[in-house]
């Protein structure tokens, strides 16, 4: 039986660090939401639009990161290779490995990256004309962005929790059927993995194909070459 690659679950020290990162990020996000809600005039007509814009930006950001990590670079690059690229390579060969990862393991790194952004939003002056829209936009961006890996994991579950399934069915977060499109070889479509809202517009515009063509013309690099090496290594080529 072929041995598929799997990610290391991390040391105890890493697990503690990831757990602390999640706790700090969630606390900072709650403080930001409370700060916005306690304004003397908490409700404005533009708030749902700013919040939805932030959520859409989180989805677009997830797609850009996912596309970049899937498409370019080698797994032996210093720091970035092991921490960012290897998980994406392993995920294509062995997507079920994602399901064994704990909540802390799944979300720790993303929470850590989110903390500086939320800290910056806590300093935004809400009394200014631009402050509250920026804070509300940032709340949507960071709140959903921080949950991207968890939402991605739920999209791989055959039977996610009932509340999660309802959100998937309503299109609020990425669903299983939507994400399955990405896992068809050569893994070159539907990269957005937070809500999936941006996938169809991006595909209609051919955004990533245009970017790949431009990068190849300038650098000579071939898209997804490292991904193909992984498939060959584990005998996964169609």
The pLDDT of residue 144 is: 98
Of the candidates 141, 70, 71, 154, the residue with the CA atom closest to the CA atom of residue 110: 141
Domain boundaries, the chain: 12-233
- Dihedral in degrees, nearest 10, Cα atoms 25, 29, 32, 33: -170
pLDDT per residue rounded down to tens, the chain (238 residues) = 467 888 888 889 999 999 999 999 999 999 999 999 998 776 788 999 999 999 999 999 999 999 999 999 988 888 888 888 889 989 988 999 999 999 999 999 999 999 999 999 999 999 988 999 999 999 999 999 999 999 999 999 999 999 999 999 999 999 999 999 999 888 899 999 999 999 999 999 999 999 999 999 999 999 998 887 777 777 665 4
Q: How much is the pTM?
A: 0.93
Residues 6+ away with beta carbon under 8 Å from 107: 18, 22, 146, 147, 149, 150
Distance of CA 32 to the CA centre of its chain: 21
**Can you give the three-state secondary structure of the chain, one letter per residue?**
CCCCCCCCCCCHHHHHHHHHHHHHHHHHHHHHHHHHHCCCCCCCCCHHHHHHHHHHHHHHHHHHHHHHHHHCCCCCCCCHHHHHHHHHHHHHHCHHHHHHCCHHHHHHHHHHHHHHHHHHHHCCCCCCCCHHHHHHHHHHHHHHHHCHHHHHHHHHCCCCCHHHHHHHHCCCCCCHHHHHCCCCCCCCCCCCCCCCCCHHHHHHHCHHHHHHHHHHHHHCCCCCHHHHHHHHHCCCCC
């Amino acid at each position: 039986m072929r041995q598929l690659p799997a990610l290391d679950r991390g040391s105890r020290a890493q697990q503690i660090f990831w757990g602390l990162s999640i706790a700090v990020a969630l606390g900072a996000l709650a403080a930001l939401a409370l700060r916005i809600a306690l304004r003397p005039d908490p409700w404005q007509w533009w708030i749902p639009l700013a919040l939805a814009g932030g959520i859409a930006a989180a989805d677009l950001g997830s797609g850009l990161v996912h596309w970049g990590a899937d498409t370019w670079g080698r797994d032996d690059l210093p720091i970035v290779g092991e921490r960012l690229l290897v998980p994406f390579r392993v995920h294509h060969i062995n997507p079920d490995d994602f399901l064994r990862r704990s909540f802390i393991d799944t979300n720790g790194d993303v929470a850590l990256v989110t903390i500086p952004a939320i800290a910056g939003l806590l300093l935004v002056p809400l009394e200014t004309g631009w402050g509250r829209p920026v804070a509300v936009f940032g709340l949507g961006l960071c709140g959903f962005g921080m949950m991207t890996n968890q939402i991605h994991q739920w999209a791989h579950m055959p039977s996610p929790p009932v509340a999660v399934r309802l959100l998937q069915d309503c299109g609020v977060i990425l669903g299983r059927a939507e994400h399955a499109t990405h896992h068809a070889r050569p893994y070159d479509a539907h990269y957005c993995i937070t809500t999936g809202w941006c996938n169809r517009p991006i595909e209609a515009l051919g955004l990533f194909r245009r970017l790949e063509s431009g990068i190849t013309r300038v650098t000579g690099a071939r898209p997804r070459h490292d991904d193909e090496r992984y498939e060959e290594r584990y005998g996964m080529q169609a």
